[in-house]
Amino acid sequence: MQKMVSLCKRRSFIFQSSEIYGGLRSCYDYGPLGVELKRNVKDQWWRTVVHGREDVVGIDASIIMHPRVWEASGHVSGFTDPLVDCKKCKGRFRADKISTETASLKCPDCGNEDPKKFSEIRRFNLMFETHLGAVEDSASVVYLRPETAQAMFVDFEVVQAAGRLKLPFGIAQIGKSFRNEIVVEHFIFRSCEFEQMEVEYFTRPGEADKWFEHWKEERISWYTGLGIRPEKLRFREHSADERAHYAQACFDIDYEFPWGWDELEGIANRTDYDLKKHSEASGKDLTYFDPQTHEHITPYVIEPSAGADRSVLAFLLDAYTEEPPPPGTKNPRTVLRLDPRLAPTKVAVLPLKKNKPELVAVAREIVRGFFEKGINAFYDEKDSIGRRYRRQDESGTPFCITVDFQSLKDRTVTIRHRDSMKQDRIGIEDATPIVADKVF
């Protein structure tokens, strides 16, 4: 994990926010490579669950919603974690995370097990509260959303009616969520500001189990289809006392992170809980008129809920490889074997020598050709060719194109493949189609 964190900083993927002021706990910034990777993850998710299906549409809702949304959804009263302080070392923890098999507490930092040396367990609401408008009174309290899901329930009727959508159908959204987590941990795994990629899939109640299985399979295939090794993924069913207040059934897709198996995505059967709660609280009819049975029904909801940041972390960790030094070199090779569709830079274009204007001119012409096709290319002329290859390997760039003296004679270049390090000689005109074939 430490190697990944330092590579992320070195290559400007992800680093601590506000570093010049000492950094801010649990807040991270995505640099030039990180933002491309994260955008690619989100684009792939959108392509698969929205553009790749007839039955899902997208929305982009406001982060701040009417405060009554969170009362009706149960978040104001129920979205809490149990907070406990260790009086010995002054550490602060989630009580459920540090309780032992015998239900007593053990401090993970100092090992304290004396019940008298722990504070009372207090319930702590995870929602960030702020005020809308100039006056900070109780009437102006609003919350930063802790999940994107509620907008899909609140907007259910308007989206369904406008699109004349027939059950089953889904509403999808990607966006920021905020939780005042007691424990922030493992780099971007658990932070206070993160992005979710969620679908609320509305079904007839009797068909909910079938669609639950469908989404479990769809979602795990999405990760493996983008290169995560299947043996690093598993389903884990939530026990009854672990499930969220709204869920009848819930499975996590877990990834085997360096600290052990942990949640990547949750897939829940939220039943008709949310639509009914919002209908009661708002007085609006949130039922669906079923043209088959001529009845008004409240649909059940299957919710695959993924974290964009956790997905980025899993894709990075799974792609990270250290290899013995390639022939003729001394240092081990670090490679990010990212799927070309996720790779931040798709291709690097390298003139063999920077002080040869004729090589530079051809390399620049090739870069322009990639840009015209919307392919994120990178021009690099600094250092030896070997060092430039290493930098691109570490950044996950799937292709390097080298312009050499032969290129000037016959308009051919070499294309180097990141994973195999194999080099092929190709015509300049073939470079764009070869790369485009793999990166879209």
- Contacts with ligand GAP by CB under 6 A lie at 147, 149, 179, 181, 190-191, 194, 196, 198, 263-266, 303, 305-307, 309-310
Shortest spacing between CB 282 and ligand GAP, in angstroms: 20
Shortest spacing between CB 294 and ligand GAP, in angstroms: 32
Instruction: Pick the closer one to ligand GAP by CB: 209 or 263.
Output: 263
Sheet of 233-237: strand order equals: 56-58, 169-178, 193-203, 300-307, 260-271, 249-257, 233-237
Q: How far apart are CA 244 and CA 309, in angstroms?
A: 21
Distance of CA 379 to the CA centre of its chain: 28
Instruction: Pick the closer one to ligand GAP by CB: 179 or 390.
Output: 179
**Scanning the structure block, which residue is given the tokens 């929305």?**
59
- Written as six digits, the tokens of 310 are 């956790």
- Written as six digits, the tokens of 380 are 């690099």
Omega of the bond leading into 168 within 30 degrees of 0 (cis): yes
Instruction: Pick the closer one to ligand GAP by CB: 223 or 399.
Output: 223
Shortest spacing between CB 83 and ligand GAP, in angstroms: 15
Shortest spacing between CB 190 and ligand GAP, in angstroms: 4
Instruction: Pick the closer one to ligand GAP by CB: 153 or 370.
Output: 153
- Written as six digits, the tokens of 428 are 């300049």
- Written as six digits, the tokens of 38 are 């994260």
Which residue lies nearest ligand GAP, judged by its C-beta? 307
Task: Give the burial class of 293: count Cβ atoms within 10 A of its Cβ; 0-12 exposed, 13-18 middle, 19 or more buried.
Answer: exposed
Shortest spacing between CB 193 and ligand GAP, in angstroms: 8
Q: How far apart are CA 346 and CA 398, in angstroms?
A: 6
Q: How far apart are CA 77 and CA 315, in angstroms?
A: 35
Shortest spacing between CB 307 and ligand GAP, in angstroms: 2
Shortest spacing between CB 331 and ligand GAP, in angstroms: 34
What is the DSSP track for 195-226? EEEEEEEEE-GGGHHHHHHHHHHHHHHHHHHT
Q: How far apart are CA 91 and CA 35, in angstroms?
A: 34
Contacts of 256 (CB under 8 A, 6+ apart): 232, 233, 234
- Written as six digits, the tokens of 407 are 């290129």
Shortest spacing between CB 416 and ligand GAP, in angstroms: 35
What is the DSSP track for 18-38? TGGGT--TT-EEE-HHHHHHH
Instruction: Pick the closer one to ligand GAP by CB: 265 or 404.
Output: 265
Shortest spacing between CB 407 and ligand GAP, in angstroms: 46
Instruction: Pick the closer one to ligand GAP by CB: 36 or 198.
Output: 198
Own/partner long-range contacts of 286-294 (Cβ < 8 Å, ≥24 apart): 286/153, 286/156, 286/157, 288/160, 288/167, 288/202, 290/167, 290/204, 291/166
Collapsing DSSP to helix, strand or coil, 53 comes out as coil
Shortest spacing between CB 306 and ligand GAP, in angstroms: 6
Instruction: Pick the closer one to ligand GAP by CB: 150 or 414.
Output: 150
